[in-house]
């Protein structure tokens, strides 16, 4: 969907990603992740729900994101959309976990997310969603992500503080200005 909208996309494969920590700083897989994060204007985070929470693999990837308390990073001020799949009927824990992590990293969340319950029944053999309403919602979320990514990129170009630790102070004014147009 994002490619059809004219976006360049990359998918990060977490295979062989080491546990986060001091010994992982010089790891090639983490260097690839950091380069991809710096390159991207926005992110799509997708996790299965395991025991009411995001998967351990998703948490590991997020723990390896470039995020430092002493300076702004390539993450802050960028857009993110959340997707979740679950085997059962009641779900949503992974979305909440990802939203909390994104907020702590200074990311701007797309207003809607997609939770696919009973995932085994919702996808065809090619991996496409069976239900039209889920397809439409996913397309809407991807459009929101593209718009939010463009807004954040343009805002950061006009005001470098937007993408740094001062974002909390500049974001409300930018949102009011965008909403008044």
Query: Is 95 within the bounds of a domain?
Result: yes
Query: Is 11 within the bounds of a domain?
Result: no
Q: Which domain holds residue 44?
A: 22-179
Query: Is 7 within the bounds of a domain?
Result: no
Strand partners, 114: 83
Q: What is the pLDDT along the chain (181 residues), one digit of tens a residue?
A: 777 777 888 888 888 888 866 666 678 888 888 889 888 999 999 999 988 899 999 999 998 887 665 455 778 889 999 999 988 877 778 999 999 999 988 899 999 999 998 888 899 999 889 989 999 999 999 999 999 999 988 887 787 666 554 444 444 444 444 443 4
138: CB partners within 8 A, 6+ apart: 1, 83, 114, 129
Nearest residue to 81 (alpha-carbon basis) of 56, 104, 32, 47: 47
Query: Is 8 within the bounds of a domain?
Result: no
pTM: 0.80
CATH number, domain containing residue 48: 3.40.50.360
CB 8 within 8 A of CB 149: no
Structural domain count, the chain: 1
93: CB partners within 8 A, 6+ apart: 49, 52, 53, 54
Query: Is 2 within the bounds of a domain?
Result: no
CB 120 within 8 A of CB 87: yes
Query: Is 121 within the bounds of a domain?
Result: yes
């Amino acid at each position: 969907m994002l490619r059809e909208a004219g976006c360049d996309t990359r998918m990060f494969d977490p295979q062989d990603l080491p546990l986060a920590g001091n010994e992982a700083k010089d790891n090639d897989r983490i260097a690839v992740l950091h380069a991809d994060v710096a390159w991207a204007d926005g992110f799509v985070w997708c996790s299965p729900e395991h025991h009411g929470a995001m998967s351990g693999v998703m948490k590991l990837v997020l723990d390896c994101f470039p995020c430092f308390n002493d300076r702004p990073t390539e993450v802050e001020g960028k857009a993110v959309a959340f997707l979740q799949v679950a085997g059962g009927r009641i779900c949503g824990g992974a979305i909440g976990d990802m939203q909390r992590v994104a907020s702590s990293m200074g990311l701007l969340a797309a207003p809607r997310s997609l939770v696919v319950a009973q995932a085994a029944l919702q996808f065809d053999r090619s991996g496409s969603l069976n239900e039209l309403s889920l397809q439409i919602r996913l397309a809407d979320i991807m459009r929101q992500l593209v718009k939010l990514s463009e807004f954040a990129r343009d805002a950061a170009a006009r005001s470098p503080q937007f993408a740094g630790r001062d974002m909390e102070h500049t974001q409300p004014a930018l949102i009011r200005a965008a909403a008044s147009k």
